[in-house]
Structure 1
Amino acid sequence: MQRLQTVFTFLLLLIATASYAQTQTLTGFSNFRKKAMTPIFEGNEVKGYTMFYHADKADKRNDNYGLDFFDENLQKVKSVMFPKERYYSHLLRSAYNGKAFSFYFYNSRKKMLEIDVFDKSLNKIATKQFPKLSKAELSVALQELQTPGNGDNKPISGLNIYPVPDMGFVRNGYTGMMKGFLLEMYDNNLNLKWTYASDEKSKDYESLLVNEVTDKYVLATIARRPNMLSKKLSFSMAAFDVVTGKKLLEMDVESDNSQQLSVSSFSFDDKKSEFITLGEYYKPEDKVLVNKSQGFFVKRIGLDGKENSAQFFAWEKDVNPLLPQEAKKSLDEGFVNFVHKIVRGADGRQHIVAEQYKVKADGVGIALAVLGGGTSTAKGVIGNMMIYTLDADLHLEKVHFFEKDQTECILPPGSGFYGAGLIGLVINMNGGFNYQFTQEENSQASFNTAYMNYRRVQKSKYWEKTLVNIMYAGNTELKTDKIDVTSNKETFSYVYPAKPGYVLVLDSQLQEKKLEMKLVKLNK
């Protein structure tokens, strides 16, 4: 992807100030959600932020929504307002593709979806409405509205919109009564570029989860079952051409004759023009999520769908000798890895940023389900952070282990039928992991990864929160920096990537109805 030209150069000429804010206090916010703030990247580095919020009344029937633009030093550059129908307009998702912002709404009175698109200088450039929704889409929209603010029990696929770098946005949909899936790609002016839908003649029920969208491909996991109530699922990884919508390849990678494979990551390596799958492997007779996996694997697949290489790293032989004793315990307890990010350094090394998780039965959920009052019978348990470093020849060079307190998250209805890798993707979509972000410098010589550690305060319902930042600076040793971001019952703290050497900490103070933002310098 070509280096983006930033809008800040000419916008900053419009304001007669040389101030570098570093902090910012905003008033009038009675509530705030983390996803309301979106970092803006130029290459790999943060160059600013947008903040989306529910503002004041526009007229008798509509409320204003605000969109603020901040530079990398938290100097406010521009604000715009646009109206939406009061009580019935619900923001589902927002996305930024490097040239445009999109905001995806559901109007519960009109039973209609709507997308608004703004350019980088916050001029509104397009609006599109979707009034004819399938019964399945209406059902999923209702589930979206019933989802608590913390994301628990969000429908597995949901109604999502994904940014296509520079070019537009992809949205997902459903056909029939959840019998098939739909993908549509729109340019930045919301002109429809292509549509891909499940085969109407197929006897299978198909659902799709998008893993990644690049400037070339939409990468996704497809799950199939013979009927709506069947627990027998098969999984495949698919790649669609982002320009034409054509399905380029589909691979069954969950199993073969010698072992079972559980894929947790499916991505594209632009440098080598190869698809990369990562996951864990099991004995043929093992039960995934019940038996301990044998190790993890990395496969590289060409554009023709043929496997170019495969590396398998066994826990006992390859990984355990590189681990401290406390790390071995979590592997023995059956934790598996979800891959958040693969960082490819200028030195040829690849760093796999992963977080452990496992599934356990939810006793309360099981009891409610038996009594007809509940649906979720499983919880996700979130474990430690791991960074696996591979050398330029993809040999395992080092394993970095970062111990943290365990947390839990509720799994959506039906997710217990999915494989380990797909459950990890569901947990990630629902915000269940403690991982926050990974920042890379444009030189690719260094990066930092941030995660949150939550510790329950004794005899209290509140948590101590510590932001842990892992820093890599061109060698095999990693350093950590810790920042206390503990919130009280009236304050909630959130962290975001920032300009090199900093993180952004935002405190939402509900009682005083204000937001305090500050750039915190990291210790290197």
Structure 2
Amino acid sequence: MKKKTGILALALAIGLASNAQKISIENVRTVSLRSTGAIKSNEEVKGYFTLYQGDKIDKNTNEYALQIMDENLNKVKEVKFTDSRTVKLLESSFNGTDLIFKFFDEEQKLIDFRVYGFDGKQKFNYQREVDKKTKRYMEQTQVYLKNGAVDKTIYPVGDKGYISVIPVREDGDYTYEVSYYGSGKKSSWTFNPDGSDSKVAQAQYLGSSDSIAIFSVMKKNNIMTKKSSSFLMGLYLHSGKLAFDFETDKDKYNFLPMNISTINGTTNFLVMGSYCDKEDNISKGKSLGLGMWLVNSQGKILNAKYNSWATEIGKHLSVNAKGRVEDIGYIYFHKIIQTEDGNFFAVGEGYKRQADGVGIALTALGGSASTTNIKVTDMLMLSFDQQFNVKAATIYDKNSTVIGLYPGMDFANLPTVAMWVKYFFNGFDYAFTQTDKNHTSFTVGYIDYVKEKDYKGGTFNAITYQNGKFTQDKLNLVKSGSTLQVFEAKLGSIMIAEYFKKEKRYEMRLEKVN
């Protein structure tokens, strides 16, 4: 009942508020990429939240403020609290009913997950001690954050709560830990893999059904082994117990899951990923195309469809035998969308590894640097019918973005690198996908950078599907502050947030896209 009351209160506030369209917050000492986000209900943006550091109370204490706004950027609620200067905000997430913030207390060596309701009040928190298993993860995270990276380990699971996935290391094992934190009521569990095949493993959260959290897991027998095995794992949300865990070579190909989507009106879900021959190393083998599995909640494959680069996809796009779309590289799929008519759309973005001349030179001089970087290329849209046959494919050109890797990342497989680019470097240009509540239309947004006669700078680009057709729109992102971020907004608009570091001011505004 509390959740529904919170949504109703926010809805009333939105209905009564004036048409602000812009807000300016003063005395903002620090604000991060993961501390601001959109509040959504039934696929629609209903408001925004931002958590920032304000005044210093004294040399040991900082003041923080959590501000909640409606869809027009009218202030709904502001809550201030104080905390030790050794407490740092790492990231945040929203699950449709509540907010969660992940803090790290350097002095107490604690990871603190704090859950807030729509009234801006803290409901409860979950603490996890930084032990020897997670010490290295936190040390690396602190270093990387100072160098501009981001921390993304918390994922919403409907209105139930959140999933956290972190790497852990103990006694020579390089593995992972999955935790669940409830938001409706205080409940949690932690899953640690066991068995000899999980001593070197990494897990990536793909999504959830109404009862199961689903993960792609890469395993190796030991740290020196080059060959990896891919698994699809499901954990029950209510208990953290295994629902299924199987190697993804059980069908006729070796399959690497990338993304999932629930199937409307069922408990089944669609898994999309690349596939290769069974004899090939799944993480480095020659990709033959894109596979799509229909899987039930027991982990049974109900239907499997494989669309090859050479034939089914090749007749729509120019591709080569290694799974590279010409000039784009490998494809990372950000989102799978099912529309009301039962068709599916996959939103992808290209990436490729290339030599880094500066890194090579530094390494030759005895320095510590990566000798490769990642080039992020164009956007790709694929559409499929209800039987997962390819209906159409379109490439949307954009300027490339180059992502520098850290030392030690050169030899990682490309699927792992893609996850780093997305969740660690925030390096893909894809911004978000927004659908209407009936799933009859959707908009995909991405960022580009242009050098034109009349304008040089960033642009927001929208690909909109409506009435069976695609249209495109573009908006120049005129930057005045130190940093600029783009968030989804009410249909036809975007929310732009700028931080002015010198003035210690944070501005948010709505702008029309079309």
- Same fold, TM-score > 0.5, yes or no: yes
1:406 correspondence with 2:400: yes
In structure 2, the residue matched to 1:424 is 418
In structure 2, the residue matched to 1:391 is 385
In structure 1, the residue matched to 2:144 is 147
1:478 correspondence with 2:470: yes
* One of 68, 91, 100 as aligned partner of 2:98: 100
Describe the shift of the 1:261–1:186 C-alpha distance in structure 2 as closer, same or farther (beyond 3 A).
closer
Report the CA distance between 1:363 and its aligned residue: 4.2
**Root-mean-square deviation (Å):** 3.3
Are the aligned partners of 1:279 and 1:337 in contact in 2 as well (CA < 8 Å)? Answer: no
1:294 correspondence with 2:288: yes
Describe the shift of the 1:372–1:302 C-alpha distance in structure 2 as closer, same or farther (beyond 3 A).
farther
Q: Secondary structure at the match of 2:134?
A: helix
Q: Secondary structure at the match of 2:310?
A: helix
Describe the shift of the 1:125–1:313 C-alpha distance in structure 2 as closer, same or farther (beyond 3 A).
same
Are the aligned partners of 1:378 and 1:416 in contact in 2 as well (CA < 8 Å)? Answer: yes
Describe the shift of the 1:74–1:222 C-alpha distance in structure 2 as closer, same or farther (beyond 3 A).
same
Are the aligned partners of 1:44 and 1:439 in contact in 2 as well (CA < 8 Å)? Answer: yes
Report the CA distance between 1:451 and its aligned residue: 0.2
Q: Residues 222-371 of structure 1 correspond to what in structure 2 (within 5 A)?
A: 222-253=217-248, 255=249, 259-269=253-263, 271-282=265-276, 293-323=287-317, 331-333=325-327, 335-366=329-360, 368=362
Instruction: Give the aligned residue type for 2:350.
Output: Q
Counterpart CA distance in 2 for 1:226 and 1:138 is 23
Report the CA distance between 1:371 and its aligned residue: 6.2
In structure 1, the residue matched to 2:153 is 160
In structure 2, the residue matched to 1:20 is 19
- Per-residue CA shift, 1:117-159, capped at 9, x if unaligned? 211111111133333x22131111111111146754x7xxx67
- Per-residue CA shift, 1:79-137, capped at 9, x if unaligned? 00122211x21111212222221111111122221122211111111133333x22131
- Per-residue CA shift, 1:361-416, capped at 9, x if unaligned? 43444555566642634322211111111123322111122111111213456555
In structure 2, the residue matched to 1:211 is 206
In structure 1, the residue matched to 2:116 is 118
Describe the shift of the 1:119–1:291 C-alpha distance in structure 2 as closer, same or farther (beyond 3 A).
closer
Counterpart CA distance in 2 for 1:382 and 1:265 is 19
Report the CA distance between 1:54 and its aligned residue: 0.8
TM-score w.r.t. the length of structure 2 is 0.88
Describe the shift of the 1:442–1:365 C-alpha distance in structure 2 as closer, same or farther (beyond 3 A).
same
Are the aligned partners of 1:179 and 1:204 in contact in 2 as well (CA < 8 Å)? Answer: yes
Are the aligned partners of 1:288 and 1:419 in contact in 2 as well (CA < 8 Å)? Answer: no
Describe the shift of the 1:142–1:214 C-alpha distance in structure 2 as closer, same or farther (beyond 3 A).
farther
Are the aligned partners of 2:235 and 2:244 in contact in 1 as well (CA < 8 Å)? Answer: yes
* One of 479, 488, 495 as aligned partner of 1:487: 479
Instruction: Give the aligned residue type for 2:500.
Output: Q
Unmatched 5+ stretches in structure 1: none
- Per-residue CA shift, 1:5-45, capped at 9, x if unaligned? 47364357679965210122222235533322110111100
Report the CA distance between 1:354 and its aligned residue: 1.0
Q: Residues 449-464 of structure 1 correspond to what in structure 2 (within 5 A)?
A: 449-455=444-450, 464=457
Report the CA distance between 1:284 and its aligned residue: 6.0
Describe the shift of the 1:150–1:471 C-alpha distance in structure 2 as closer, same or farther (beyond 3 A).
farther
Report the CA distance between 1:330 and its aligned residue: 6.7
Unmatched 5+ stretches in structure 2: none
Q: Secondary structure at the match of 1:320?
A: coil
Report the CA distance between 1:435 and its aligned residue: 0.2
In structure 1, the residue matched to 2:458 is 465
Counterpart CA distance in 2 for 1:455 and 1:148 is 28
Instruction: Give the aligned residue type for 1:97.
Output: N
Counterpart CA distance in 2 for 1:159 and 1:232 is 27
Are the aligned partners of 2:30 and 2:52 in contact in 1 as well (CA < 8 Å)? Answer: no
Are the aligned partners of 2:155 and 2:164 in contact in 1 as well (CA < 8 Å)? Answer: yes
In structure 2, the residue matched to 1:512 is 503
Report the CA distance between 1:202 and its aligned residue: 6.1
Counterpart CA distance in 1 for 2:278 and 2:158 is 40
- Per-residue CA shift, 1:271-318, capped at 9, x if unaligned? 332232222234567777878633222122233323222222223322
Are the aligned partners of 1:360 and 1:379 in contact in 2 as well (CA < 8 Å)? Answer: yes
Are the aligned partners of 1:264 and 1:425 in contact in 2 as well (CA < 8 Å)? Answer: no
Report the CA distance between 1:473 and its aligned residue: 0.9
Q: What is the percentage of aligned positions where both structures have the same residue?
A: 26
Instruction: Give the aligned residue type for 2:194.
Output: D
Are the aligned partners of 2:57 and 2:63 in contact in 1 as well (CA < 8 Å)? Answer: yes
Report the CA distance between 1:218 and its aligned residue: 1.5
In structure 2, the residue matched to 1:80 is 79
Describe the shift of the 1:306–1:413 C-alpha distance in structure 2 as closer, same or farther (beyond 3 A).
farther
In structure 2, the residue matched to 1:136 is 133
Counterpart CA distance in 1 for 2:400 and 2:406 is 20
Describe the shift of the 1:100–1:372 C-alpha distance in structure 2 as closer, same or farther (beyond 3 A).
farther
Instruction: Give the aligned residue type for 2:99.
Output: F
Report the CA distance between 1:198 and its aligned residue: 1.8
TM-score w.r.t. the length of structure 1 is 0.86
Are the aligned partners of 2:377 and 2:399 in contact in 1 as well (CA < 8 Å)? Answer: yes
Query: Which stretch of structure 1 is more off in the superposition, 306-315 or 445-454?
Result: 306-315
Are the aligned partners of 1:159 and 1:171 in contact in 2 as well (CA < 8 Å)? Answer: no
Counterpart CA distance in 1 for 2:456 and 2:146 is 18
- Per-residue CA shift, 1:304-360, capped at 9, x if unaligned? 3232222222233222333489xx997134712111111111111111111111222
Give the length in aligned residue pairs: 507
